[in-house]
Structure 1
Amino acid sequence: MKALIALILLVQLPIHKAVPAAPPAPLGCDDPESEAAAEFSVNYINGHSHHGYKFTLNRIKNIRIIPQGLNNYILLLELHLLETMCHVLSPTPLENCTVRSFVQHAVEGDCDIKLQKLNGKFSVLASKCHSHADSSEDVLQVCPVCPLLTSLNNTEVLTAVATALNDHNSKTPDAYLRLLEIGRANIQYEPAHVVFVEFAVAATNCSAEDAKVSVEACQLLPEDQSNFGFCTATMVKRPSQDLRVGCQLYGHQPGVTYSHPGHDTSAGLSPSVVQGFINHNLRLSHNNPFASESSSSEFPASAFSAKSVAKRAVADVAQHDKVPHPVGFLPPPPPCPGKIRHFKI
């Protein structure tokens, strides 16, 4: 009898069984979680780019989620970006930066980002990017007279930058500026011959008057006092000569540094990292092969292609349409790629 009672009590005891954590649900390219991951990634890209301009998100091309454990998963993103008019040294928040228009000969970027989200916080594990200008033919089809991007070490470009900087320094009694890098350059030949240049600068320890005495003695300010800036210039060569220059210094920004390409900026107007190229390539700052799953045998590259994801999503929708849906049914996430935020290129 005692044994029977003990058995009954044992059966009535609550049974505790470990329940494995459910894997995170698949993400669509326009889901809030995907957009948050993309925003974090773009800020990382801009914060770790050493040359050129800030980029903004144009489209999430693909996303995949890989569970790693409780409150821990990996996100693999493919992002399409567009160049803005803010240099990477500019303190202007990205949301206030103007995107280059198509007819300004836009530059696009493609990035693979590997993110981890652990306990609700993102961190970038790897980034791999490439950026290039749109084809000249595409621009000329829309705007036959629009000036096209030209090589950053083009002779006319170098002359325009040197002339513009000398003109600014000769008219400004404040800090004597030196060139850091040429950002972009366009040349228009018809109906007028015009050279448009943009370039990053930095203040030196000299005033304009000091530089007249001994320009060789003028050095860039030390890191804890650095003062970067940006200039734009338009040099008209025909039908009549004209020069317009505008420069702005940002003021000291703690923690913001410029990665020198290994040449004397007082004399070298064409940074070695951009010789012969028409735009600064994001690959110079982001070239980690582990940014995408295709670099690892653990994840086949075909599993991350936009086409395969789209096919799976369409198949899922078709399958769901064959059966009645319960109340509160949520359809699967839309296929990738996601929406275009600015323009297709």
Structure 2
Amino acid sequence: MRELVILAAVVSALHAASLPTDTDVQYECQEDQDNIATLEAESFINDHHRHGYKFKFVSLDSRSAEEKKVRLCDTVVLGITLEETECHIVNPKPLDQCTTRMETQTKVKAKCNVTVSSVEGKAAVKRYICDTEPASHEILLTKCPDCPSLLPLHDPKALESVKTALQKFNKESDHKSYFKLMEVGRISTQWMFSGQSFFAQFAIMETNCTNKEAPQNEESCKALCGDQARYGFCKSSKFGNEEPVNVECEIYEAQNITHPMKHPFPCHGFVKIPPAIYPICPFPPPRLCRGPPDFIRPRPPPQ
């Protein structure tokens, strides 16, 4: 009897191993394969999102097939909704473990049109463009009138609280390396009896300076690159005018991540100004300095 049970278990395991998975299926842009395409779109967008937080797929809102054929597959345009999570891009946590923000935290949604086709039997994203917007302040006031509201990421007073928080972290940290600011992820504010309060989230990166030498020569400290650097994510709060800044940071082990783009707002036209969030920039990036075609360029005068 025991041998029959073992044999049945082996047969069941072999059968399960032989069943096709999403990675084994030949993607052909069919409607019943939209889950494959949306997963690829979610992954691709996050891989090319260089600032702010990871986004998670929420819903498929529309689909349309273009007439042009790519290999054996119609190119499909999917309208999808993504929501911003609480995981910053430097956080190595898998996306399925990241939670999306609640309404009271000013939820951020991205409506994207993603063009997907089949390349060697796999779903491949060709381009996308997204409209990224936070929930309106009126909605937040209706659901939570006492909740903090978002500030522009370049608010001077809020940035001063971030600077003070980072100085406090480096001073009290047990890490040998000095960390510098990579970017501010979010800033919110709330008025209290003691004055205006600030709540900030920001990413930091490890430098080639030690904690002892950095304060005297901060500008010369260069961020480490690639898999040599450790990154971190901090949350700070400053209650009122007189209270000291509180700060807590998570430091992640070195990982091979791509450095963010130099300019914090490479596609500011796709988000309300002044920006309080990081938008999902279009892919491929638009050519902003495109010259006129050759056939309309003025010809040089004859010699």
Find the counterpart in structure 2 of residue 85 from structure 1: 86
Q: Could you tell me which amino acid in structure 2 is paired with residue 134 of structure 1?
A: A
Find the counterpart in structure 2 of residue 268 from structure 1: none
**Secondary structure in 2 aligned to 1:189?**
strand
Shift in Å at residue 36 of structure 1? 1.8
**Which structure has the larger Rg over C-alpha atoms?**
1
Task: Give, in whole Å, the separation in 2 of the partners of 1:242 and 1:75.
Answer: 54
Task: Structure 2: give runs of 5+ residues left out of the alignment.
Answer: 1-27, 287-303
Shift in Å at residue 191 of structure 1? 5.9
Task: Give, in whole Å, the separation in 2 of the partners of 1:237 and 1:65.
Answer: 55
Task: Give, in whole Å, the separation in 2 of the partners of 1:118 and 1:55.
Answer: 24
Find the counterpart in structure 1 of residue 290 from structure 2: none
Task: Give, in whole Å, the separation in 1 of the partners of 2:80 and 2:159.
Answer: 34
**8 Å contact 2:76–2:115 — kept in the other structure?**
yes
Q: Could you tell me which amino acid in structure 1 is paired with residue 37 of structure 2?
A: A
**8 Å contact 2:116–2:126 — kept in the other structure?**
yes
**8 Å contact 1:202–1:228 — kept in the other structure?**
yes
Matched length: 251
Matches within 5 A, 1:161-172: 161-172=162-173
Find the counterpart in structure 2 of residue 107 from structure 1: 108
Task: Give, in whole Å, the separation in 1 of the partners of 2:154 and 2:70.
Answer: 51
Shift in Å at residue 218 of structure 1? 1.4
**Secondary structure in 1 aligned to 2:224?**
coil
Label 1:149 to 1:116 Cα distance change in 2 as closer, same or farther (>3 A).
same
Label 1:219 to 1:121 Cα distance change in 2 as closer, same or farther (>3 A).
same
**8 Å contact 1:79–1:111 — kept in the other structure?**
yes
Find the counterpart in structure 1 of residue 39 from structure 2: 39
**Secondary structure in 2 aligned to 1:177?**
strand
**Which is richer in strand?**
2
Task: Give, in whole Å, the separation in 2 of the partners of 1:25 and 1:281.
Answer: 28
Matches within 5 A, 1:284-323: 285-286=282-283
Task: Give, in whole Å, the separation in 1 of the partners of 2:29 and 2:260.
Answer: 41
Shift in Å at residue 119 of structure 1? 4.6
Find the counterpart in structure 2 of residue 125 from structure 1: 126
**8 Å contact 2:50–2:260 — kept in the other structure?**
yes
TM-score, with length taken from structure 2: 0.76
**8 Å contact 1:226–1:252 — kept in the other structure?**
yes
Q: Which piece of structure 1 moves more, 168-177 or 242-251?
A: 242-251
**8 Å contact 1:126–1:288 — kept in the other structure?**
no
Say which structure, 1 or 2, has more relative contact order (CA 8 Å, 6+ apart): 1
**8 Å contact 1:73–1:118 — kept in the other structure?**
no
Task: Give, in whole Å, the separation in 2 of the partners of 1:220 and 1:288.
Answer: 26
Label 1:186 to 1:287 Cα distance change in 2 as closer, same or farther (>3 A).
farther
Q: Could you tell me which amino acid in structure 2 is paired with residue 92 of structure 1?
A: K
Find the counterpart in structure 2 of residue 282 from structure 1: 280
Matches within 5 A, 1:129-208: 129-174=130-175, 175-190=177-192, 193-208=196-211
Find the counterpart in structure 2 of residue 76 from structure 1: 77
Find the counterpart in structure 1 of residue 254 from structure 2: 252
**8 Å contact 2:29–2:73 — kept in the other structure?**
no
Shift in Å at residue 224 of structure 1? 4.4
**8 Å contact 2:54–2:87 — kept in the other structure?**
yes
Task: Give, in whole Å, the separation in 2 of the partners of 1:222 and 1:26.
Answer: 42
Shift in Å at residue 287 of structure 1? 6.1
Q: Could you tell me which amino acid in structure 2 is paired with residue 38 of structure 1?
A: T
Task: Give, in whole Å, the separation in 2 of the partners of 1:272 and 1:84.
Answer: 19
Shift in Å at residue 280 of structure 1? 0.8
Find the counterpart in structure 2 of residue 8 from structure 1: none
Label 1:25 to 1:181 Cα distance change in 2 as closer, same or farther (>3 A).
closer
Find the counterpart in structure 2 of residue 236 from structure 1: 239
Shift in Å at residue 25 of structure 1? 8.9
**8 Å contact 1:26–1:65 — kept in the other structure?**
no
Task: Give, in whole Å, the separation in 1 of the partners of 2:101 and 2:238.
Answer: 21
TM-score, with length taken from structure 1: 0.67
**Secondary structure in 1 aligned to 2:140?**
helix
